[in-house]
Amino acid sequence: MKPVKASGEQIFKRASGILLHPTSLPGKYGIGDIGPMAEMWIGWLQKAGCHLWQVLPLCPTGFGDSPYQGFSAFAGNPLLISPDRLIEDGLLMTEDLTSQPQFPNGNVDFQKANSNKKELFFLAAKRFEDQKDDHLRKAYRRFCREERRWLQDYALFMALKNEHNGRPWTEWDADLANRKPAALEQAVHTLAEEIEAYKIIQFLFFKQWTSLRNVAKKAGVIIIGDIPIFVAHDSADVWANPELFWLDDEGMPTVVAGVPPDYFSPTGQRWGNPLYRWDVMRGNGYGWWKQRFKAVLKIVDVVRLDHFRGFEGYWEIPAEYPTAEVGRWVPGPGADFFEALMRTFGSLPIIAEDLGVITPEVKLLRDTFKLPGMKVLQFAFGKDATHPFLPHNYIRRCVAYAGTHDNDTTRGWYETAPESERDFCRRYLRCDGSDISWDMIRAAWSSVAVWAIAPLQDLLSLGSEARMNLPGSMEGNWSWRVSEEKLSDELAARMRETNQIYGR
């Protein structure tokens, strides 16, 4: 492979930022959203001198409330819609919100938040259909035209899922699961009102997100989004495009995604996502993937491409096996895929999530397209001075992280790490460990890495109780929230001084 013209380099200038998913924002509706508190958050980033805001996938969450198991790779998460903004639009009334349930402090009760908001948003959708604002209705019709490639399938999928009591699409009536035209036509007619409501709710999400993104642009804040390499089996994507995946005649995956056994997991990780028919995708010019990138780049400035190594080669597990111990490495689409993207988009504003077992071939693919990789400081202290995640080994074209959403918080990591790692960490950072979160932040910020990012939990020096996700566990993930008083001027000033000292 010959090196290509640098992709997206104009946006990669020395800067810093914070990883915080919108669900973790403060607010009164049981879950963070993209309304007034999100605008306050952008203002706080500006005060802190941070120019980057990294979020997790913004899709409607499915199994385990995970943003990496969404019902659609194109749709927005309705739970992020702000009721306050709907009041401003006249689609909700103040009295609609007077009997809010009691929500827990500090974390999300997804079931309670979803039940509450779903009722509110279907009410708002009904009022939208009845209201006379021609400007809003024109905007909605334009949205439906522009997003027609996924919107109708998504709305029909959600309406049918509701009709089947939330069961996976493979358990629906066979004609619907197999998308027989007559069955789909009948469903569109029978469920027309609900389908329209789901489409309106999507319009309201993207209307609010576009407004928030404009606020970020005015504040000089770049939004980093996230594209999971794989999609959920129980999704509109797989149901509407079965020919793009390795499925049997009943729609079940014949092979699934994961990673093989390693030092951390003796049985590997069986994620269970269906694998792509890359031969079919290559034959149609990667049309579905181009649509996906186009959709994501409409709402964010830069994309973290999850499991980047899977584009060079991925672990294929026969679906009948319960663990990832049995499997094989299969070549991914490689350079052909990224060249096709560049022909369409001109540049690739991508961060390659190149964690795990990375081969020379994966590094070559990353470097050929001049994509910055990731360096996670928590992984740096288990070896010696040659470890690539130690700051003195960084190159400029990388993003330094204190930790990610899949790691423990820095304090939590330090408190549970082997003493040998803790000792190496203290000696390397020249610290006593009493302020380890900020010691790690300073190490990342002082490095040559073009971008440095830390989870908000680390700025707050929180322990394992604030962890966002524990891979392999099914409960208690994604629910951490920050309280408004924690986003203090004092914390912003400390972050701003750190940015000034290290030229970020």
CA distance 255 to 273: 9
- Residue whose tokens read 């204190």: 402
Mean pLDDT by 10 residues, the chain (504 residues): 53 95 96 98 98 98 92 98 96 93 93 94 94 87 97 98 96 97 98 98 98 98 98 98 97 97 86 97 98 97 97 97 96 98 95 93 97 97 95 98 96 97 98 98 98 98 96 87 97 98 98
Could you tell me the sign of the dihedral formed by the alpha carbons of 432, 435, 436, 440, in that order?
A: negative
**Helices 148-163, 192-218: inter-axial angle, 10-degree rounding:** 130
CA distance 430 to 424: 10
pLDDT at residue 8, rounded to an integer = 59
Bridge-partner residues for 400, per DSSP?
Answer: 375, 452
Structure tokens at 89: 């639009």
Structure tokens at 447: 């490095």
pLDDT at residue 6, rounded to an integer = 46
State the number of CA atoms in the 13 A half-sphere of 36 facing the CB.
Answer: 10
Pairing of strands 15-19, 451-455: parallel
For 249-367, where are the E strands, in sequence order?
A: 255-259, 269-274, 302-305, 313-318, 328-331, 350-352
CB 85 within 8 A of CB 1: no
CA distance 183 to 174: 9
State the number of CA atoms in the 13 A half-sphere of 342 facing the CB.
Answer: 17
In angstroms, the Cα distances linking 118 to 61, 68, 83, 115, 229 are 13, 21, 11, 5, 28
pLDDT at residue 122, rounded to an integer = 96
CA distance 114 to 77: 11
CA distance 119 to 484: 26
State the number of CA atoms in the 13 A half-sphere of 490 facing the CB.
Answer: 3
pLDDT at residue 3, rounded to an integer = 44
- Residue whose tokens read 């309406």: 159
Exposed / middle / buried, residue 368 (Cβ in 10 Å: 0-12, 13-18, 19+): middle
CA distance 403 to 295: 27
Catalytic residues, which ones? 306, 353, 406
pLDDT at residue 336, rounded to an integer = 98
CB 55 within 8 A of CB 225: yes
464 closest CA partner among 417, 431, 421, 430: 417
pLDDT at residue 169, rounded to an integer = 98
**Helices 335-345, 360-368: inter-axial angle, 10-degree rounding:** 10
Structure tokens at 449: 């890495």
In angstroms, the Cα distances linking 346 to 293, 391, 401, 425 are 12, 32, 28, 42
* Domains of the chain: residue spans and CATH: 9-371+469-501 (3.20.20.80)
CB 370 within 8 A of CB 363: no
In angstroms, the Cα distances linking 260 to 82, 263, 267, 365, 434 are 41, 10, 7, 21, 37
State the number of CA atoms in the 13 A half-sphere of 300 facing the CB.
Answer: 26
pLDDT at residue 7, rounded to an integer = 54
